[in-house]
Amino acid sequence: MAPHPFRTLDVEETRVARDVILSLHSDVVVDFREIYLQEPEKAKMKAYLDLEHSSTPGQSPNGKRPPRLAKCQYDIIGLDKIPEYHESIVDVELKKRVSHEVVSKDKQASLTLWEFQILIEACKKSEMFQKAMAELKLPEGFELVVEPWPYGGLDLGAENRRYFQGLCFAQDTRSGNADSNFYAYPLPIIPIMDAHKREIVRIDRLATGGKGDSLTGKTHSERIIDHCQTSEYVPELVELRKDLKPINITQPEGTSFKVTDESLIEWQKWRFRVSFNPREGAVLHDVHYDCRSIIYRLSFSEMTVPYADPRPPFHRKQAFDFGDGGAGNCANNLSLGCDCLGVIKYFDGVVVGSDGIPQTHPNVICLHEQDNGIGWKHTNWRTGRAVVTRNRELVVQFIITLANYEYVFAYIFRQNGDLTVEVRATGIVSVVNIDPGKISDYGNVVSGGVLAQNHQHIFCVRVDPAIDGHKNTVMYEESHAAPWDRATNPNGNFYEVRKTTVNRSGGLDAAPQHNRVFKIINSSKRNLVSGNPVAYKFTPPPTQKLLAAPGSIQAQRALFANHHVWVTKYKDNELYAAGRFTLQSQQEVDGVHDMAKRNDGVVDEDIVIWNSFGLTHNPRVEDWPVMPVDIFHVNFRPADFFTANPAIDVPSGKNNSSVLVGKDCCKTEQKL
């Protein structure tokens, strides 16, 4: 059977695409970056899905099947010149290239992880860097660790060459443990590499002062980490608590979900596809409940993490973790019994090396069910009869590591029709060296000599809705106090619900003071009970927007963070909130801000909704050495989409494995 059009490209398809590209560029050296599924044009896909949803299960409407396309990203390496970055699209069934673009030199391709390795080698080879390191006296047993980072926003006027920066730390090697936490020993230099030359071209010196010190002056002694302290987190280096007893989660009858063709997931009336790509990680497609369409595509589109320390060059600490390096590329190989409990289904991705040879990227997505407390309950106090159901959830999760930080991304489905997007921020906060005894306005001292700099995380979720079809409209509803009025509000208790339709593409904000709720409606379809148009709604988290000064490089390259909600008209390939190229960008180009600027009509159109939310993170000491998860939710809920609570049919049976606590509280007493 032919793969479903939304299914992740497999190893064989990827290899075909590679071979086609190599055959077309047989006279030059090709360095691959990525090869992954180019999703079908929506017009073709709609025709296919219409047939699929109306046809017999198991039978594909192959007559309408869009071609299987691979997006191939690669450098053409010439002698002594800057590599040319190409993007080609290959039809892997016809083994034929269908499009080809030589990307303009003012754009930087997303980085690959092997570019990080080049930086580390360049540091080793660089005399300039070795000299700078020699100025710092490390205690015996400490060794340099270079942590490669994207270069951040290119300063205005700077030549647009490809750079990487290395944050430097020292690792205590005396324990012999390769996972001893080197972030506890930050060094105040940043080597800058020209990626094409593969050479360190500059060493940035970091100020280590505190309150009252200048932004640039050198204040540290050469004994640069003598005041720093060990801060371990790997269990063999920590004294662990001993009183935690296991909680086991078992599913003796198996799961309630079913996975077909490694892409189709069916669970509790939900039906959707999942795919994985190097930029966005896990993406959901064609989400239905009870055979009714809700979402065409759902993804984490972008995030930016700007740092607020004004001392140069810290303004260039600003990562775009999806556009710069690829969330999918940085996805963890998930582990049974650690990243989730119960009965787990893992999905693999495919990655290519610079030679284009595809490899399985194992366990990049996990799928599992979980119990989230009470789902609904009512007790009839007359009869004493309580009916209580559990809130079962299905979780599609992936986790990424970006140098020091990690993010746990999840799509959570519920029986009641809710679909929640969750982000958990964890990992190690980014730190720099601060002189002994000093404190700073730019962050918090979280360990001896270690300043955790203030920063923000701003995420953007892209929702391509299909509420009972593709022609949708966004409106927002607010609740407003009403004037006390003899005729209309005689007792002053009335409040008015105001509805506003979003007519043109643009950006909008959260307004919790008015209980502003956004509804994605299908105006052509009315709820049979209420008469309202069928809808899904969400309340954008009213989190703080980007704080960098308007016009600054940090702000200009993250215009998507200027509004909580954007509504744009759908166009194929418009997937990325901060634009297609973020690495070293000085400005968001073709991001959601530009899409919105078209001022398209968005009433009863194929629309896309973007939700930006985040966290202003002024670190606590408790965020050190690894921060406890900070959890964010955006909940999409049916609002007059169904004709009743869709979870009303969830069985309310007792779970018979629960037991009463025993007398000593550590043994169980009685099985029910």
Residues carrying an active site annotation: 321, 405
Q: Are 142 and 225 in contact (CB under 8 A)?
A: yes
Smallest separation (angstroms) from its own copies to the CB of 170:
14
Q: How far apart are the C-alpha atoms of 458 and 612, rounded to whole Å?
A: 7
- Which CB atom, from 106 or from 290, has the smaller least distance to its own copies? 290
Smallest separation (angstroms) from its own copies to the CB of 657:
4
Decide if residue 29 touches its own copies (CB under 8 A): no
Decide if residue 544 touches its own copies (CB under 8 A): yes
Decide if residue 660 touches its own copies (CB under 8 A): yes
Which of 217, 362, 490, 601 binds its own copies (CB under 8 A)? It is 490
Q: How far apart are the C-alpha atoms of 324 and 589, rounded to whole Å?
A: 14
Decide if residue 387 touches its own copies (CB under 8 A): yes
Smallest separation (angstroms) from its own copies to the CB of 566:
18
Residue 454 phi, psi dihedral angles, 5° rounding:
-65, 145
Which of 340, 364, 458, 634 binds its own copies (CB under 8 A)? It is 340
Which of 133, 553, 589, 592 binds its own copies (CB under 8 A)? It is 553
Decide if residue 291 touches its own copies (CB under 8 A): no
Footprint (CB under 8 A) of its own copies, residues 623-652? 623-629, 637-652
Decide if residue 381 touches its own copies (CB under 8 A): yes
- Which CB atom, from 48 or from 151, has the smaller least distance to its own copies? 151
Smallest separation (angstroms) from its own copies to the CB of 415:
8
Q: How far apart are the C-alpha atoms of 525 and 546, rounded to whole Å?
A: 38
Binding mask 446-475 for its own copies (x = CB under 8 A): xxx-----x---------------------
Decide if residue 442 touches its own copies (CB under 8 A): yes
- Which CB atom, from 64 or from 227, has the smaller least distance to its own copies? 227
DSSP 579: B
Q: Output the six-digit token pair for 384.
A: 């004493």
- Which CB atom, from 92 or from 206, has the smaller least distance to its own copies? 206
Which of 6, 272, 314, 570 binds its own copies (CB under 8 A)? It is 314
Q: How far apart are the C-alpha atoms of 1 and 314, rounded to whole Å?
A: 53
Q: Is the peptide bond before 490 cis (omega within 30 degrees of 0)?
A: no
Decide if residue 527 touches its own copies (CB under 8 A): yes
Smallest separation (angstroms) from its own copies to the CB of 429:
11
Exposed, middle or buried, 384 (CB in 10 Å: 0-12/13-18/19+)?
A: exposed
Q: Are 485 and 328 in contact (CB under 8 A)?
A: no
Smallest separation (angstroms) from its own copies to the CB of 492:
3
Q: How far apart are the C-alpha atoms of 114 and 117, rounded to whole Å?
A: 5
Smallest separation (angstroms) from its own copies to the CB of 286:
19
Decide if residue 348 touches its own copies (CB under 8 A): no
Q: Are 367 and 345 in contact (CB under 8 A)?
A: yes
- Which CB atom, from 96 or from 480, has the smaller least distance to its own copies? 480
- Which CB atom, from 79 or from 644, has the smaller least distance to its own copies? 644
Decide if residue 167 touches its own copies (CB under 8 A): no
- Which CB atom, from 40 or from 326, has the smaller least distance to its own copies? 326
Amino acid at 277: N
Q: How far apart are the C-alpha atoms of 279 and 607, rounded to whole Å?
A: 22
How many residues in the shown chain lie near its own copies by CB under 8 A?
A: 183
Decide if residue 488 touches its own copies (CB under 8 A): yes
Q: How far apart are the C-alpha atoms of 552 and 315, rounded to whole Å?
A: 10
Q: Are 294 and 419 in contact (CB under 8 A)?
A: yes
Distance of CA 240 to the CA centre of its chain: 31
Smallest separation (angstroms) from its own copies to the CB of 210:
10
Which of 554, 568, 584, 612 binds its own copies (CB under 8 A)? It is 554
**Of 450, 400, 444, 457, residue with least CA distance to 182:** 450
HEC-encoded secondary structure of 619-645: CCHHHCCCEEEEEEEEEEEECCCCCCC
Which of 306, 328, 506, 579 binds its own copies (CB under 8 A)? It is 306
Decide if residue 552 touches its own copies (CB under 8 A): yes
Q: How far apart are the C-alpha atoms of 516 and 539, rounded to whole Å?
A: 7
Decide if residue 211 touches its own copies (CB under 8 A): no
Q: H-helix or E-strand containing 460?
A: strand 455-465
Smallest separation (angstroms) from its own copies to the CB of 215:
7
In the chain, the N- to C-terminal Cα span, in Å, equals: 49
Smallest separation (angstroms) from its own copies to the CB of 604:
22
**Of 432, 402, 397, residue with least CA distance to 412:** 397
DSSP 43: H
Residue 502 phi, psi dihedral angles, 5° rounding:
-85, 110
Q: How many Cβ atoms sit within 10 Å of the Cβ of residue 576?
A: 24
Smallest separation (angstroms) from its own copies to the CB of 278:
16
Decide if residue 502 touches its own copies (CB under 8 A): no
- Which CB atom, from 43 or from 481, has the smaller least distance to its own copies? 481
Region of 23-31, 49-57, 74-82, 382-390 interacting with its own copies (CB under 8 A): 382-390
Which of 303, 308, 352, 596 binds its own copies (CB under 8 A)? It is 308
Q: How far apart are the C-alpha atoms of 448 and 625, rounded to whole Å?
A: 12
Footprint (CB under 8 A) of its own copies, residues 572-631? 616, 618, 620-629
484-514 burial by CB neighbour count: b if 16+ within 10 A, else e?
Answer: eeeeeeeeeeeeeeeeeebeebbbbebeeee
Alpha helices in 456-537 (DSSP H): none
Region of 158-166, 523-531, 570-578, 583-591 interacting with its own copies (CB under 8 A): 523-531
> What does each C-alpha distance from 337 to 104, 209, 250, 265 come to in angstroms?
46, 44, 11, 22
- Which CB atom, from 219 or from 370, has the smaller least distance to its own copies? 370
Decide if residue 227 touches its own copies (CB under 8 A): no
Decide if residue 158 touches its own copies (CB under 8 A): no
Footprint (CB under 8 A) of its own copies, residues 391-430? 391-392, 399, 401, 403-404, 406, 408, 414-418, 424, 426-428
Secondary structure class of 13 (helix, strand, coil): helix
Q: H-helix or E-strand containing 360?
A: strand 358-380
Which of 15, 315, 580, 593 binds its own copies (CB under 8 A)? It is 315
